[in-house]
Amino acid sequence: MTSCIGESTQAGLKRQAYQWACVLIRPENIDQIPPKFKSKIESVARRPVKTEDESEPMTPCPHCNFDIPETKLDCPSCKNILPFCLASGKHMILQDYSKCPSCLMPCNYTEMKRLIESEPVCPMCSAEVLPMQLKISEDAQQEFKELMGLMKDSTEPEPDADADADATNP
């Protein structure tokens, strides 16, 4: 839990860090705090946060265009599971749809471009990717449909497989 407080503080989620620090300094939990973190956690718990944490940016669902938080990987409106960007972990955005030129994994152009400008290596396949190699998809809708076809649940029987099985068993 100490790492949760540290990560929340670094990410700017001060209210969340404060809430967890308050839980951790309760008498039943205080003995579990490592000595080197104790003073830091106590100082976080002493300073209540007066403002709300910033809300997460909203982006459209690639299926139904319903605005959802950019890190949400399922849409509450259309109930679809959304593919994620290999560079950021955020869900894919059709207007920014791109692929790694090496492994062809989907990524949001803006996020991948920012990533490879600092280090020109794909985080998925470790291949060298130069910023000029990255392109926004010309037919993002079609590429997205193909990706969703690959993401179909493997437990769902394919329509042709059932028809073939029925034809061989009279």
pLDDT along the chain (170 residues), means of 10: 78 83 86 84 82 79 94 94 92 95 94 93 94 93 90 61 51
For residues 77 and 130, state if they share a domain: yes
List the beta strands (DSSP E) in 16-64: 58-60
Rounded to two decimals, the pTM is 0.61
For residues 76 and 15, state if they share a domain: no
Residue 41 has a pLDDT of: 84
Is the residue at 170 inside a domain? no
Residue 52 has a pLDDT of: 65
Contacts of 25 (CB under 8 A, 6+ apart): 33, 41, 42, 45
Domain count, the chain: 2
Whole-number Å distance between alpha carbons of 102 and 154: 25
Strands 67-69 and 58-60: antiparallel
Nearest to 112 by CA among 84, 137, 134: 134
The domain of 115 spans: 58-151
For residues 30 and 105, state if they share a domain: no
